[in-house]
Structure 1
Amino acid sequence: MAKSLIYTLPLLVLATPVIAEDESGSSQPQRAQTVTDIIDRPGVLTPAGNVGFEVSLGYTQNSSNKVSVIGYTILPTLIVGRIEVSDTDRTTLTAGFTTRYGLTNATELELRVPFVYRNDQISTRPIQDGSSGNTINADIDGGGLGDIEFAIRHQFNFDTTPYWIGGLRVKSDTGKSPYDIDIDPTSNSLTDAPTGSGFWSIEPNISMVYPTDPAVLFANLSYIYNFKDDVDLGGQSAEIDLGDTISIGGGLGFAINPDLSLSIGLTHRTILESKINGSRGDEAKLLQLDTLNFGINYAISPTSSININAQAGLTEDSPDFQLTVRAPFSF
């Protein structure tokens, strides 16, 4: 699931504490929100004046196999040139540190600082030769600060259902850009692992939460706009326009008991074609990413909880597997 209260039910239902008043009128923290809490108390963002923190660790595994023809065809069955097959295995670990602050009971701010470690193993071999001695292997390893993000969210209604939450997320370019890394001419791969996209982006989004006891239905829609920028490509300046992303998702969560809840959802993303100097590149294509999401959430104390989420890729361009563990807590 996504990283914030807006994008996923696990964090919607467990990440933030609920503040209630006792008979003396003083405020005291109650248990972290569950599905039942959302039905009884429609405020799903950080309460006014409260500060919440979250530490997370994410693991992503992705592999791909590709056959490339370097040459041309004379007849449909006759190829002049070279046929290469490549195999790529990419492993990414992301440690995130997030803080949230409630401006009002309906509006919260969020700041997220990620640290990324990435390892890419790439093997390329001409299949005509058939000899393992012709295999070119590349092992790219590195990490560092990722792209820092800032977000603001607002809940529009409290007295009627479904509840609507709008948000705006801004992603910086603090991570190591792939366009700032040299290319190894032997393997035609990067010499170091990037930790960011290299571009600023902005993401407006809208989410819906609909309680229907004993479950909660949720859905979200977002659009990521990437700002153009000039980069150096082989000693020449070029304007890069990364493809924007349209994302839609939904699912349901249900409470097993006051401390434990489960969720299941489906997310679809369409990444539009990238452009170089206003024109689409030869290898640019529309990407379709579908993932199936499973989540489990457990309240371990009145002010903290743990969220475990697994994602399985359903399409060729999606990551094969993602596992994220989050531990939100508040004061």
Structure 2
Amino acid sequence: MSIFKLKSLIVLLAFFSVSVAAEESSASNKNEKPKRVQTVADILEQPGVLTPKGSFVLDTSLSYTQNSSNSVSVVGYTVLPSLIIGLIRASDIDRTTLTLGVSGRYGITNRLEVEARIPWVYRSDSISERDLNSGSNQASLRTVDGSDLGDIEAAFKYQINMQEAPYWIGSLRFKSTTGKSPYDVPVNNLNDFEELPTGSGFPSIEPGISMIMPIDPAVIFMNFSYIWNIKDDVEVDITVADEDGQNAQDIRVDTIDLGDTIGFSAGMGFAVNPKFSFSIGLSHKTILKSKINGSTATDAKLLQLDSLSFGANYAVDRDTTINIGATAGLTADAPDFQLSVRVPYTLK
């Protein structure tokens, strides 16, 4: 994974160098800013009307995500349809994720902006499990956590038209592999994490297109995106038996191709007064099947993530706003609940 991490950091440095060069050139040539529509698209983190030329927005965010799942797993094999040799485990898992993010957006022109985001991730899983065929009448509780730098992201956004609505914005986002990969953290003999990862372990490229339609006093917005996860070779520790029948560790290299993600979201924002607005939106994501060494596993499946979002935006002054958003999962694969607070501050 070190080669991709090095490439990711090189790309991010290139993005920052572009924004610094643009800042120096804009100091000697300041044009009049065109008329821009006021939107509340930032509440749901949709690409909206972009940062004006020469302006820098520092965006600090904190998000809390809660998810739970119940599962039954079998460590063994089936002799007959009704006879299983091995261990049957039932588990109830509560997952909590806290993400502190710092983002920066700079307007290279009135049509083009560059963005970078650095997250710090803390994850904690509380696992209550019981071995059904061990005679235990009590469930054991196990807690696993992990905290570290997440996957750093960088993006370009370009506003296609400026004069007439609806406004169209194209975006291209790149995600690095600076977070801890699931293949870089230790696991036990049952393949359970002993420490939780903070990144996906694979770089990705996400092109997207957004539409913003102001209908005074409301704003309708839609977004379509596609996340392409770049496949990579990973080293996997496996246990094999030697000639004496003793278990020994060996290293196997697998080519992992994570399933790509197709995303669509839409919603409406409504301005109550010049300082306060709120929004409601619906988001859908389809995660395609993953592949290992070019083949799709027999137990692989499509994941459908649907969620309903609510948001509120309050303008403290001309340069500072407070955004609060809540998201509720509608399908089994989506997170149960997410709460986020963002404070964008504009530096001119």
Q: TM-score, structure 2 length as denominator?
A: 0.80
Give the residue type in structure 1 aligned to 2:101: G
Q: What's 1:8 paired with?
A: none
Asked if 1:239 corresponds to 2:242, the answer is no
Structure 2 Cα separation of the partners of residues 80 and 194 of structure 1: 32
| Aligned residue among 283, 292, 300 for 1:284 | 300
In the TM superposition, what is the alpha-carbon distance from 1:311 to its structure 2 partner? 0.4
* Gap change, CA 1:198 and 1:26, over 3 Å in 2: closer
Structure 2 Cα separation of the partners of residues 279 and 123 of structure 1: 33
In the TM superposition, what is the alpha-carbon distance from 1:287 to its structure 2 partner? 0.3
Higher relative contact order structure (alpha carbons within 8 Å, sequence separation ≥ 6): 1
Q: What's 2:147 paired with?
A: 143
Asked if 1:59 corresponds to 2:75, the answer is no
RMSD value, Cα: 2.2
Structure 2 Cα separation of the partners of residues 245 and 162 of structure 1: 26
Contact 2:72 2:89 in 1 (8 A): yes
Q: How does 1:194-205 map to 2 (within 5 A)?
A: 194-205=197-208
Asked if 1:230 corresponds to 2:246, the answer is no
Q: What's 1:252 paired with?
A: 268
Identity of aligned residues (%): 55
Structure 1 Cα separation of the partners of residues 226 and 188 of structure 2: 35
Asked if 1:189 corresponds to 2:192, the answer is yes
| Aligned residue among 213, 217, 223 for 2:216 | 213
In the TM superposition, what is the alpha-carbon distance from 1:193 to its structure 2 partner? 1.5
| Aligned residue among 48, 51, 55 for 1:50 | 55
Asked if 1:71 corresponds to 2:77, the answer is yes
In the TM superposition, what is the alpha-carbon distance from 1:79 to its structure 2 partner? 3.2
In the TM superposition, what is the alpha-carbon distance from 1:172 to its structure 2 partner? 0.2
Q: How does 1:114-129 map to 2 (within 5 A)?
A: 114-129=119-134
Structure 2 Cα separation of the partners of residues 297 and 130 of structure 1: 54
Alignment length (residue pairs)? 294
Q: Deviations over 1:18-75 (max 9, x none)?
A: xxxxxxx9989xxx9456xxxxxxx810001111110000000011001234432634
Q: What's 1:179 paired with?
A: 183
Q: Deviations over 1:166-186 (max 9, x none)?
A: 00000000001110111122x
Asked if 1:274 corresponds to 2:296, the answer is no
Q: What's 1:85 paired with?
A: 90
Q: What's 1:154 paired with?
A: 158
* Gap change, CA 1:211 and 1:73, over 3 Å in 2: farther
| Aligned residue among 166, 172, 175 for 1:168 | 172
Q: SS in structure 1 opposite 2:177?
A: coil
Give the residue type in structure 2 aligned to 1:165: I
- Identify unmatched segments of 5+ residues in structure 2: 1-29, 41-47, 238-250
Structure 2 Cα separation of the partners of residues 137 and 122 of structure 1: 6
Q: SS in structure 2 opposite 1:167?
A: strand
Structure 1 Cα separation of the partners of residues 32 and 110 of structure 2: 14
User: Which structure dedicates a bigger proportion of its chain to strand?
Assistant: 1
Q: What's 1:98 paired with?
A: 103
In the TM superposition, what is the alpha-carbon distance from 1:156 to its structure 2 partner? 0.5
Structure 1 Cα separation of the partners of residues 283 and 55 of structure 2: 31
Q: SS in structure 1 opposite 2:183?
A: helix
Contact 1:138 1:189 in 2 (8 A): no
